[in-house]
Amino acid sequence: MLIGYLLHPLQTRKWLRYIERTPALLDMARASPHLRGRLRRPYLTPRLSYADRVDLLIGHYDILLHSPLADWACKAAQQPVPLGEFIGKSGAVYQLTLAATDAARRDGELVLRLMSRDVCVYTAAFVFLRQDGERCVKLGGLQGLLATDKTMGIKQVTRDLYGCRPKELMVAVVREIGRLAGCGKLILIGNANKLPPREKHVCRKSADYDATWEEMRALRRPDGDYELPCRAGGSPGAFEAGASRRTVVIESLLDLVRLRFSQDRVTAAVRTASHAPPMPAPPAVPRGTDIDNRTS
């Protein structure tokens, strides 16, 4: 923080003032103190300047905290939020969780994790932003982790998910989260723009982003990134031959995410209503007054 003040005083003050003026973000900063110093290292892509990082983070939280996902974000800053749980072909249980403001990640403010037996199988990090006036979600990191157990390798997990590749599953869920937040498109960071992963044991097959996005038939952008629309249902490659079982797995998980989202919105609405001030009592009617003929 001191280095940030000395080298970039205006941008650092802008970021800290934004935190202080945003109650929900201030609560998140108290739960994750490193959030205040988020700007001191390269973020999302090496091409962003310090001022660009400030604008990116402010834009992300403006979108997130004014979207239906705000409650998820506040909870995820405290501890990972479970989005869904399902059973694989072998009987292994898989969990999908969402975390926010992860100190170890520089490729996104929200981190989606696929877990099984308390082991992280795959991660996806993303942020929200605006481009040309449109709300978008940008996936900055997609990483498969090398397994220490043969049963937790990427190939074995793919078989356990009826042929659905974990990276395909993660991208589909990020697209759905973007749709729930009101985003029109998912931007996928390309090889030329990504940051090197900080995890020590990352699968090499998940490191070639361009090949992954092209397999998913994403549209290449002039800046080196790719994009896909955020739409309800459907998954990348869902109409390929033999993809019906993968489609069922993905759609079943998306249904779990939508159900959790709907349940949390109802819970938040009930909690808000319970803390609302009581309605004022109607004015007293003088005796002898005909209620039907009164004038206001």
How much is the pLDDT for 26?
94
How much is the pLDDT for 3?
66
Place of tokens 């970039």: 8
How many C-beta atoms surround the C-beta of residue 75 within 10 A?
16
Render pLDDT for 55-82 as a digit per residue (tens, 0 to 9): 999 999 999 999 999 999 999 999 999 9
How much is the pLDDT for 132?
87
Q: Give the CA distances from residue 99 to residues 75, 123, 155, 216, 224, in Å, rounded to whole numbers and listed in that order.
A: 8, 11, 25, 25, 28
How much is the pLDDT for 293?
45
| Alpha helix (H) residue ranges in 22-127 | 23-31, 50-65, 70-76
Identify the structural domains of the chain with CATH numbers, from first to last: 70-272 (3.40.630)
Q: What is the mean pLDDT of each run of 10 residues along the chain (296 residues)?
A: 68 92 93 86 89 94 94 92 92 94 89 91 94 94 73 83 92 95 95 78 70 94 95 49 72 91 80 58 46 40
SS3 192: coil
CA distance 236 to 227: 11
How much is the pLDDT for 267?
77
pTM of the model: 0.84
19: enclosing H helix or E strand? helix 9-21
How much is the pLDDT for 236?
45
Residue 281, token pair as written in the block: 């009592």
How much is the pLDDT for 248?
86
Please, which residues have CB within 8 angstroms of residue 102's CB and are 6 or more apart in sequence? 111, 125
Say if residues 219 and 228 touch (Cβ distance below 8 Å): yes
SS3 269: helix
